[in-house]
Amino acid sequence: MLDYVLPRYRVMRDKDLCIQCGVCERSCSNEVHHVDEELGRVTANNAACVNCQRCVVMCPTQALAITRWPQVDSGSSNWTLETMQDIAKQAQTGAVLLSSMGNPKPYPIYWDHLLLNASQVTNPSIDPLREPMETRVFLGSRPEILKVNERDEKLSAPLPPQIRLDVPLMFSAMSFGSISLNAQKALAMAARELGTFFNTGEGGLHRDLERYADCAIVQVASGRFGVDPHYLGAAGAIEIKIGQGAKPGIGGHLPGEKISEEVSRTRMIPQGTDAISPAPHHDIYSIEDLRQLVFSLKEATGYSKPVAVKVAAVHNVAAIASGMARAGADIIVIDGFRGGTGAAPKRIRDNVGIPIELALAAVDQRLRDESIRSTVSLVAAGSIRSSADIVRAIALGADAVYCASAPLIALGCHQCQDCSSGKCNWGIATQRSDLVRRLNPEIAAERVVNLVHGWTHEIKEMMGGMGINAVDSLRGNRLMLRGVGLNEKELEILGVKYAGE
Amino acid sequence: MKRIYALEEWCIDCKRCEVACKVFHSKSKDPVKAFLYEQPKPRNRVRVEGNRTLSIAINCRHCPTAKCVEGCISGAMTRNPETGVVTSNPEKCVGCRTCVSMCPFGAVTIEEGPTHPIAFKCDLCGDELGVPGSPSCVAACPNRALIYVESEGN
Amino acid sequence: MAITTDYLIIGNSAAGLSAAEAIRKTDCEGSVLIVSREPYSAYGRPLISYLLEGKTTLDEIWLKPEEYYEENRLQRMLGPDFEVVQLLPEEHRALLAGGEAVEYGRCLLAAGSVPFVPPIEGLAEASNVFPFLTLDHALAAQEAAREAAALAAVEGRPSRCVVIGAGLIGLKAAEALCGYVDEVVVLEMAPRILPAVLDQEGADVLRQQLAQRGITCLPGITAQKVVVEEGCATACLLTTDELLPCDFIVAAVGVRPNSALAVDAGAVQGRGLVCDSQLRTSLPDVWAAGDLVQVTDAIDGSKRPLALWPVAMAQGAVAGASMAGAAEAPSYESAFAVNAVDFFDISLLTAGCINPPEDGSFTAVTEVDGDSYVKFVFRDGLLVGYILLNRPACGGIYTAIIENAIPVDQLDPAIFSAAPENLDFPPALRWARLHKFYPADRDRRGWKEGC
Amino acid sequence: MVRSLRKLPRRKICENEGSHPMLETKGPREGQVRIPSGCAIAAIMDRTGGRHDGGDILKSIALMHDRSNGLGGGFAAYGIYPEYKELYAFHIMYESREARAETEAYLDKYFMSEKQERIPTEPVAAIKNPPDIWRYFVAPHPMRLANSGLDEAEYTMQHVFHINGKIDGAFVASSGKNMGAFKGVGYPEDIGEFYRIQDYDAWAWTAHGRFPTNTPGWWGGAHPFTLLNWSVVHNGEISSYDANRRYVEQFGYDCELQTDTEVITYLFDLLARRHGFSQETAAHIMAAPSWEDIDRMPPEEAAYQTALRTVYSSALVNGPFSIIIGSDEGLLALNDRLKLRALMAAEKGPMVYLASEQAAIEIVCPDAENVRSIEGGQPFVVQLDSVVAAKARESAENCPAREKPFRHEVEVHPRRKERAHA
């Protein structure tokens, strides 16, 4: 059948600069470039290009750029080229469209409508280079009232288990299988260096990463891959994954060909079999079932570590979150609809869920309305793009954020959204040994550490500007936010005033 | 001395090291000129062996008792006693290939020189023979598969 | 008045200089005297053919810059007057041709080889017959070639040089002279050219390629007589009874150790001077290094001199260290031949055992591919020799395999079918080879894992 | 939505204040003098419980005239109503007759009033348009209290919130026992004169002169801010306001006034009264040690401090502040962790003096001893000798209010209780 699908990208090669060194050819797992000795030039198979930009970065002479395929659309704003191409693909394959990373559609990004405050005259801003500026947070559940013996300065009852983050940011769940071991290792190393946590995702904890277990949050998801007492016992915290922002209501499917020996051992499933995560947990059909699982895990680990529950931001997320808190979750994780994924049905990714900003604001307020906000920790996830997003998230009410796409971008990800092909040229979303090798965890960890250091400096600058020297005082401090370009309802949900008010 | 070590675990067969080496050892130091216009063609002294599944960059180990120096009939190949850097003097080299037959790593090649074929090998990107510079291959490696570190021997 | 020195080095080439350098590594104080019959600063003798080809110049052939000798305080006495004519080891004295005597502490014999003049009628008496070993020989041959070319041009005939002996020296001479005269004919008594470093098949391949480049090799044929007219050789009567006119002759049938001094003084001589592992001769305080030393062949255990540059360098280093009393003096046990030679654009690398005896203990693999000819010789699962004709790339890797006796079954079999690679070695060995002196604070990934 | 809980009429008052003739005349003076930042606070206490009139505190705060701008001043006094010490003394400001009628009807419903009267005031030229200010000595209505399931303090607090939040034109300026707040718009010395504070005898006085930039000046918004027995005077602008506000609002504290002082008072009430911490620990929580300091502590101490910071992270008060908190126990002064605001302390015999400026202490006690600056983040606590003695006998464990038996079970009617004792 003739393929009606058009190329999406086009390789622009500056002939004057191309030295035919072949670096591009060797860099491309999609086999786009080819040094044609006969023609004496480098040719490109544009249709195979996914715009990962590896070749652009690798080219020693900056001879390359990727551009859009210049095909005009039909002229209809309704039948856009992309819409029609999706139809062409499905007409060709009869399959569900798969895609990766986060929702790329132009839904409003509320972060960009929230502006931060700074001190002027009445209140000094604080210079983070001169004064201590605290970004440490603890996550876990707390008693509403702490019982202490003040004279002896001792706790009358121990504090429930907490995890300590030196920066209010953790790396979100990405399983070994969906990302390479080197990528996971880089995040583990960075987490150790930064004093924060990475999350194993639902793929188990690879034995090479056991040395990083104390900065791992291990996930228990519907497939229960890699879960055993050792896995639970090794971790710093446990996370029950109910849903994921990129694909609420959808399970996962890692095809058998990606279940290599290492993945198989880590997930504790036979090599070559499909790893299927059911859409729901089949032992959680209601909130009381969640409570059972939470306490099963706490029992299994002797109440020694916090248990987080992660849900996708969906319409009634506030009520769900309240239920989770009451079901014993120590940490509530809300994953907004722009959160990334290794693979998701495109229609789900692009159309299901709600923005994290609104979800976070609603959850925080609901927990406060129910007087339980200060007894649980709240983590926001789903496309935290910068330090300013972190500051906004915390000001809206989060204790900390989960961040994955940004660290992946630090590792080299160019958001080509082709993770599911397994041919990631950056060595991130692949298990192919030659590609995995491209990601030296040492460099990768350094880059992530640099990024987070940079962000931390910025967070400190922003906090200092607000006259705040501890992140505790930023949490839920919505007065530090002002909205622009938002309607009354949005302001109400976000709980912020309009700029100028 | 500081040596370049290649780490095959991270070598990705991109050969940017070769490109960088060639460019550094060109007259113009410009990749486009070096590759397309200069005559004689600049030569890379680092060489990537293997393919995508397994590869490693090979360059001179700057051996303490360098076989190539021992074998050199012309006095072109020398090891600087202070720096430990082994270099071949293009003025003196006659291209006899004794060094090629002696080097246990295949790190010396005989290629066309200004007047006749001569030996080419890693000079650690020094500006003058025997004085190490900052190796271009190491700088160009995108994956730290080449590292330039103080070694535990001279 | 006698000259006194702590170290006397007889011979001013690879072995002598290498020894002087080694002495200086241990003994910075002792006086070192180098004497040589040749009036030149040390140069690479194999360079003479390249000099004639124009690949090097009289400015560049010197092994070491003059400052080197000053910096290292190496005293030299060069020229015919300074040839040692008698060695008196008991007295620690050497007598020079000029009549002076040198009183030394320790002495190194590093006088190399002398050409062997074959017993061919007329050869010795002709004035236009040149050996091809020293700079003087080369310059003389060059002069003869120029004259011959000029004369032949006047006479309207092709100029011709006959080289007797198709060994390395003979063929390099032939290559060098090829640029001066119209025809070079190389005679070789043995049935193939380069009998010591090639087998029959390889020799045939090379011979054809040399022929294309103007050198006619006649293996199995030599001169039974040289026709001499007015003191000049004008033709060779070949063993085929043909008469081959020539303008001059280069006689390069071989060399023998220049060990007469030591032998006269009572040293034990086999096929070369017999030395211990520190390269001490049987004479008191006399060491030897270079072409005149009898070496144990690492492959077949035979004992003979190995007149090769790297061998001389290595021996000089051992002998020098021993003479200076270095704390950890290396020892010299055995060697095997490694030859690298090029003719025009033809390259030839050979090493070790090339023509194994057919006693069933050796196996050989050969491959002809266009201009290239490759041969590998194995014994007991080890590589013991190779020929690489026009496939020089990374040849040293094979040399290392021979030298380190790396079992072939550990290697990727592909290593013998194309240019060898470091990747053909098993991972652990590969690491060990390529990561000598690797800093221990880094793991094999090149970094310290966070802890 | 967040901070728009204030009732509209109050906003109007602010606007009226803005057009106050005195303010208009003050305008030109701005350029002639260096504009001071923030407010002035001062306090005087006799540890033995000996009562002193308001003369000294008036002198002390008047000295710091330039630290306020005439938009607010006030005093809190402890021990002024010994004859009604078991009753809640409500000082209520009314903007209208209707407001008073509504409030008094409300009070009648939920409280039993022992006495009510207009607070005596002195006309002062500088004080314009004062509200009608009354005081009531009340006890919670026993039946309603019992039905509410709340303890007495909680019950009272809820009703104070109701009056402040729901009754237009009425504002409870203070609601503690044996104490009262006297505050309004004007310079503190004028306010003091207006309220005739020299006529009151108190064992502790606090005072405040206001330079409002954060919230506009109006009578109710003047300081000290009080709740039950708490009174707070504060200088600064806390940057953690909304984090603190949203924290305390979880527990029924409505931050009507949107002032720092209000939220600090509520935090104190939450920590000290409801969670049972000592005032010192409550202050310690609000100005917690830095993580850097905690990391240097021995493990057990670090665990204690970590737990306090973790559980009460939203009670951390950030930004520049110096506060003096008055209560039936005594005074507590606290500076922000970075010590961004001035606050001095001094002693003389049983007397303790606190003020934004040293001069304000020396003017009333020239030979004061131990004059020093309060350290950032270190609570400075002065308690009545009797309280110190009582505390020493108590358990060191904090006893949250809800774990205590409801006191109203034995104290429903103060008179009855007194009789029982007699």
| Residue range A181-210: mean pLDDT, rounded | 95
Name the residue facing D250 among A150, A373, A480 (closest C-beta): A373
CA R_g for chain D = 21
Question: Are A169 and A390 in contact, with CB atoms under 8 Å apart?
Answer: yes
Residues of A in contact with B11 (CB under 8 A): 437
Q: Is residue D30 part of a domain?
A: no
Q: What is the CATH number of the domain that holds D225?
A: 3.60.20.10
Active-site option among D39, D255, D365, D399: D39
Local confidence band at D9 (pLDDT 50, 70, 90 cut-offs): very low
Residues of B in contact with C422 (CB under 8 A): 49, 56, 58, 105-106
Task: Report the DSSP beta bridge partners of residue A43.
Answer: A34
Local confidence band at A478 (pLDDT 50, 70, 90 cut-offs): very high
Pairing between β-strand C74-78 and β-strand C32-36 as defined by DSSP bridges? parallel
Phi then psi for B80, rounded to 5 degrees?
A: -65, 120
| Residue range C330-348: mean pLDDT, rounded | 92
d(CA D347, CA D349): 6
pLDDT tens-digit profile of C220-256?
Answer: 999 999 999 999 999 999 999 999 999 999 999 888 9
d(CA C191, CA C44): 30
Local confidence band at B40 (pLDDT 50, 70, 90 cut-offs): confident
Local confidence band at C1 (pLDDT 50, 70, 90 cut-offs): low
Local confidence band at B42 (pLDDT 50, 70, 90 cut-offs): very high
| Residue range D156-178: mean pLDDT, rounded | 91
Q: Domain A137-460: give its CATH architecture.
A: Alpha-Beta Barrel (3.20)
Specify the DSSP element, H or E, that contains D154.
helix D152-166
Question: Could B98 and C439 be called an inter-chain contact, meaning their C-beta atoms sit closer than 8 Å?
Answer: no
**Torsion angle of C-alpha atoms D261, D262, D266, D269, degrees rounded to 10:** 60
| Residue range A465-481: mean pLDDT, rounded | 95
Asked if the C-beta of C370 comes within 8 angstroms of chain A's C-beta atoms, the answer is no
pLDDT for the residue numbered D315: 95
Is the pLDDT at B137 greater than 90? The verdict is yes
Is the pLDDT at C446 greater than 70? The verdict is yes
Local confidence band at D38 (pLDDT 50, 70, 90 cut-offs): low
User: Between C355 and D32, where is the model more confident?
Assistant: C355
d(CA A329, CA A325): 5
Asked if the C-beta of A125 comes within 8 angstroms of chain D's C-beta atoms, the answer is no
Reported as half-sphere exposure (CB side, CA atoms, 13 A), residue C111 has a value of 27
Local confidence band at D8 (pLDDT 50, 70, 90 cut-offs): very low
Domain that holds residue D376: 38-289+319-421
Residues of C in contact with A445 (CB under 8 A): 450
| Residue range C362-389: mean pLDDT, rounded | 94
Min Cα–Cα distance to chain C from A189, Å: 7
pLDDT for the residue numbered D217: 58
Q: What percent of chain C has pLDDT above 70? A: 99
Q: What percent of chain A has pLDDT above 90? A: 85
User: Between A250 and A318, where is the model more confident?
Assistant: A318
Q: Domain C345-434: give its CATH architecture.
A: 2-Layer Sandwich (3.30)
Residue in A137, A139, A150, A360 to test binding to D, most D beta-carbons within 10 Å: A150
- Sketch out chain B's domains with CATH numbers: 2-150 (3.30.70.20)
> Please, which chains are in contact with B (at least 3 CB pairs closer than 8 A)?
A, C
Residues of B in contact with A58 (CB under 8 A): 14, 16, 142
| Residue range A128-141: mean pLDDT, rounded | 93
pLDDT tens-digit profile of B111-133?
Answer: 999 899 999 999 999 999 999 99
Asked if the C-beta of A442 comes within 8 angstroms of chain C's C-beta atoms, the answer is yes
Is the pLDDT at D36 greater than 50? The verdict is no
Residue in B9, B13, B14, B24 to test binding to A, most A beta-carbons within 10 Å: B14
- The answer to which of A81-85, A443-447, D338-342 has the lowest mean pLDDT is D338-342
CATH topology of domain C129-253: FAD/NAD(P)-binding domain (3.50.50)
The correct answer on CATH 1.10.760.10 for the domain covering A9-95 is no
Residues of chain A with CATH 3.30.70.20: 9-95
| Residue range B88-104: mean pLDDT, rounded | 95
Q: Is residue D105 part of a domain?
A: yes
Q: Is residue D18 part of a domain?
A: no
Q: Which residue of D has its CA nearest to A472?
A: D313
Min Cα–Cα distance to chain B from C380, Å: 22
D365 belongs to the catalytic site: no
Which of C22, C23, C39, C19 has its CA nearest to residue C31? C23
Is the pLDDT at A245 greater than 50? The verdict is yes
Distance of CA A180 to the CA centre of its chain: 15
pLDDT tens-digit profile of B59-84?
Answer: 999 999 999 999 999 999 999 999 99
d(CA D167, CA D109): 14
Question: Could A19 and B35 be called an inter-chain contact, meaning their C-beta atoms sit closer than 8 Å?
Answer: yes
d(CA D90, CA A288): 48
pLDDT for the residue numbered D413: 36
| Residue range D132-151: mean pLDDT, rounded | 91
pLDDT for the residue numbered D393: 87
Is the pLDDT at D387 greater than 70? The verdict is yes
pLDDT for the residue numbered D418: 38
Question: Are B108 and B95 in contact, with CB atoms under 8 Å apart?
Answer: no
Local confidence band at D16 (pLDDT 50, 70, 90 cut-offs): very low
Q: Which residue of B has its CA nearest to A41?
A: B36
Please confirm whether the linkage preceding C80 is cis (ω < 30° from 0): no
User: Between A337 and D410, where is the model more confident?
Assistant: A337
| Residue range D268-293: mean pLDDT, rounded | 92
Q: Taking the model in full, what pTM does it have?
A: 0.90
Is the pLDDT at C137 greater than 70? The verdict is yes
Asked if the C-beta of D243 comes within 8 angstroms of chain A's C-beta atoms, the answer is yes
pLDDT for the residue numbered D29: 22
Task: Report the DSSP beta bridge partners of residue C373.
Answer: C368, C389
Local confidence band at D212 (pLDDT 50, 70, 90 cut-offs): low
d(CA C70, CA A200): 68
Chains A and C form CB pairs within 8 A to the count of 11
**End-to-end CA, chain D:** 53
CATH number of C3-114+256-323: 3.50.50.60
Local confidence band at D165 (pLDDT 50, 70, 90 cut-offs): confident
Crossing angle of helices D299-311 and D279-286, in 10° steps, is 80
Chains B and C form CB pairs within 8 A to the count of 162
Asked if the C-beta of B53 comes within 8 angstroms of chain A's C-beta atoms, the answer is yes
Asked if the C-beta of B12 comes within 8 angstroms of chain C's C-beta atoms, the answer is no
Is the pLDDT at A193 greater than 90? The verdict is yes
Cα separations (Å) of B122 from A55, B89, B130, C63, C435? Answer: 27, 12, 10, 21, 16
Cα separations (Å) of D105 from D98, D109, D113? Answer: 11, 6, 11
- Looking at the structure of chain D, the number of domains it has is 1
pLDDT tens-digit profile of C146-204?
Answer: 999 999 999 999 999 999 999 999 999 999 999 999 999 999 999 999 998 999 999 99
pLDDT for the residue numbered D419: 36
Is the pLDDT at D420 greater than 50? The verdict is no
> Please, which chains are in contact with A (at least 3 CB pairs closer than 8 A)?
B, C, D
pLDDT for the residue numbered D222: 82
pLDDT for the residue numbered D30: 21
> What b-and-e string marks burial along C165-194, b requiring 16 or more CB atoms within 10 Å of the CB?
bbbbbbbbbbbbbbebbbbbbbbbbbebbb
Asked if the C-beta of B9 comes within 8 angstroms of chain C's C-beta atoms, the answer is yes
Residues of A in contact with B14 (CB under 8 A): 23, 26-27, 58
Helical H segments across A301-385, by residue range: 317-326, 346-351, 356-369
pLDDT for the residue numbered D34: 20
Asked if the C-beta of D322 comes within 8 angstroms of chain A's C-beta atoms, the answer is no
Question: One-letter amino acid identity for D63?
Answer: L
Residues of chain A with CATH 3.20.20.70: 137-460
Is the pLDDT at D21 greater than 50? The verdict is no
D215 DSSP assignment:
S
Asked if the C-beta of A445 comes within 8 angstroms of chain C's C-beta atoms, the answer is yes
pLDDT tens-digit profile of D105-141?
Answer: 999 999 999 999 999 999 988 888 889 999 999 999 9
Residues of chain C with CATH 3.30.390.30: 345-434
Which of C298, C433, C306 has its CA nearest to residue C379? C298
Question: Could A192 and C445 be called an inter-chain contact, meaning their C-beta atoms sit closer than 8 Å?
Answer: no
pLDDT tens-digit profile of C252-276?
Answer: 988 899 999 999 999 999 999 999 9
Question: Could A189 and C451 be called an inter-chain contact, meaning their C-beta atoms sit closer than 8 Å?
Answer: no
Is the pLDDT at D411 greater than 50? The verdict is no
Local confidence band at D252 (pLDDT 50, 70, 90 cut-offs): confident
Query: Residue D383 is encoded by which pair of tokens?
Result: 């308690």
Q: What percent of chain D has pLDDT above 90? A: 56
Question: Are C26 and C325 in contact, with CB atoms under 8 Å apart?
Answer: yes
Is the pLDDT at D404 greater than 70? The verdict is no
Do C and D make contact via 3 or more CB pairs under 8 A? The reply is no
